[in-house]
Chain A
């Protein structure tokens, strides 16, 4: 691999790592919010918020759906940086 390619790859790795950390922190905050409501205000979870479903169910499902949405955004951003993963073969 040429020096240029190595540098591009290093930059791509740094970008992906940084993006991963930021997205992890954002998701982590949503998760911590969920845990905190369960601990400090469990009664709040009874409140109906969507289609007759309570906050506990909606927040729980939202955490699952958000994980997939975050994952797709992460992948899209990684692909958009034209990372050099293709060079290492076999996607």
Chain B
């Protein structure tokens, strides 16, 4: 592991904490703590909005989804950005006009209802939690290649640093951390995109000479007693398994070990030199022993003519051709043991090393070894990607095998024509799911608590409006870049099908450690900033909405700030636990759920309060409660959660995974019905703005 990323990571964290302690004296009052004093410049606030919004979901999740599913991943970018139109035209100025520190303040401005305070606070907490999970999952995914630490360690580091940031300086530090991170993320994503365009396409991407292109092989085989034996006798049959209807055969091959310039053991496979990580002393001890071969933590070593050899174990998928002959196709695999040993494509590797696949096998009709385009322009890049004569090799999961203490994840190539990759349909097979997601993304942005509270950090309605416009410009530009980064990952051999979240950082690594370290540190800062904003929102809901305004506890300014800090600590701890539990899920996908809950719980109340004079407090409370419960409940019984429970997704009673299509209209309907039923008996109705 290079020392540079570690230094850069420590520098970023130190910078963030230094800024936090410097701003600590701004968080002595309630307004200072929850709204940064309300005096942030609209330009700074606009970029901070971008910082808040360009979370792990945007950077890691969307790039990963584009790398794995092409254009369908980009639909998230479009939905996320379009949601800002609702924020600007409908929500921004009224939120600033009506509110003080939290979303509940604005909703409650005309009613002074304890029910609204409590319902809005609870929905804020639930939405914040839904949004926190993917951020923490993203943090865990990042630290492994960056620092070589485990997922749990990453989640713990982020949780700890964020609690410190929020508890020390509240919204002021969160705002400036977001401003810095948002600006830097956009700049370096642009740098990465320009580098990608200058590199162009290649049918055998070698990451600028940093990593040789690995050519997967096929071997003819015979069937002997039900076993598939390769005709090439240098490959030895070991075992075979049926996985999801396909036969996978494990073949071993003895390969002589060599040494690199630093004395570490290496071996050759397909003309590429592979280092053997973590076995130097073991191999020397083995060579000194009288044993002929030895299994050391899953890697088998042997002696041949007195020289050390490794017995590589690769997985091959059987194909029976029409003429009856049998061919074995080499597949990609990632094997992990409970003791933490990891093998990628039969090579023992460090835990921070990743499976990296994907390339264009045909570029506008030209195929074969060594076809290159040279630098391409931004339009040309997309034109080549979408060409029917371009073929991209995507790698998709083929199933898992449990063998000899290892869990082996297998992946097979799926050649995909450019025009298929660059049109909708690879991810969203279910139209209802697609409509539901696009609805949730469009209406969810303007209902996210950590976005809404940023309207209170600026001094006026005009400043709220202008900061939203800056945010739209910055976020929109970034989302255009996600298209390039995601597609770049899949054609540059930097897509890890076992963890799509790492597509953008791995693409950066193909350009060298400096840009990889910067991008990874920024991605980490992205998580830090977004989690800070979410924890501030949740802390405000507990301390300001529930304890101060709902319960009516008499507290002075200092006590209110201290309660806010305690609440931040508690929310941070819960976020850490959830981040560990949800390890491995795509963060962009998880955020889609958070948007659905926000859009269902909060947006109907905001819109109807502003535009329907007959809205009542009870209607708002009912809408928030029903919207929240419906969205969360539908998620819990969705096909994706069934998969998470280990059940058959097809047995779910829901035909879609995103609840927005049902829960958003339901929340509106409930608000209308309850408001109409409570017109005369309760509080005066709202007046339209």
Contact = CB atoms under 8 A, between A and B. Distances in A.
A90 B460 contact: yes
Given A52-B383, A65-B476, A71 B469 contact: yes
A17 B442 contact: no
A20 B460 contact: no
Contacts of A52: 379-380, 382-384, 386-387
Interface of A: 13-14, 16-17, 20-21, 23-24, 27-28, 31, 34-35, 38-39, 42-43, 45-46, 48, 50-54, 56-57, 60-61, 63-65, 67-68, 70-72, 74-75, 78, 83, 85-86, 88-91
A12 B424 CA distance: 42
A80 B518 CA distance: 43
A48 B74 contact: no
B472 A57 contact: no
Given A16-B93, A46-B419, A71-B88, A27 B82 contact: yes
30 contacts: A17-B610, A20-B90, A23-B89, A27-B89, A31-B442, A35-B435, A42-B424, A45-B423, A45-B424, A46-B386, A46-B388, A46-B423, A48-B383, A52-B384, A53-B382, A54-B422, A57-B71, A57-B386, A60-B74, A60-B77, A63-B82, A64-B479, A71-B84, A71-B468, A74-B88, A78-B462, A83-B462, A89-B460, A90-B39, A91-B466
Interface string B124-167: 00000000000000000000000000000000000000000000
Contact of A72 (B77, B419, B424, B469): B469
A74 B472 CA distance: 13
A38 B476 contact: no
B401 interface: no
A71 B483 contact: no
B459 interface: yes
Contacts of B479: 64
Nearest to A45: B423
A27 B82 CA distance: 9
Interface in B206-243: none
Given A52-B379, A52-B383, A56-B423, 17 more contacts: A21-B90, A38-B75, A48-B386, A54-B386, A60-B74, A63-B82, A64-B77, A64-B479, A67-B472, A67-B476, A68-B472, A71-B85, A75-B466, A88-B459, A88-B461, A90-B458, A90-B460
B86 interface: yes
Interface of B: 39, 42, 71, 74-75, 77-78, 81-82, 84-86, 88-90, 93-94, 97, 379-380, 382-384, 386-388, 419, 422-425, 431, 434-435, 438, 442, 458-463, 465-466, 468-469, 472-473, 476, 479-480, 483, 610-611, 689
A54 to B, nearest CB: 5
Contacts, number: 153
Nearest to B439: A35
A24 B476 contact: no
Contacts of B386: 46, 48, 52-54, 56-57
A66 to B, nearest CB: 9
B689 A13 contact: yes
Contact of B431 (A27, A39, A43, A70): A39
A71 B84 CA distance: 10
A28 to B, nearest CB: 8
A67 B423 contact: no
A56 B463 contact: no
B459 A90 contact: yes
A60 to B, nearest CB: 5
A60 B486 CA distance: 15
Contact of B465 (A27, A43, A78, A88): A78
Contact of B463 (A34, A38, A42, A90): A90
B42 A31 contact: no
A85 B461 contact: yes
Contacts of A35: 434-435, 438
Contacts of B85: 23-24, 27-28, 31, 67, 70-71
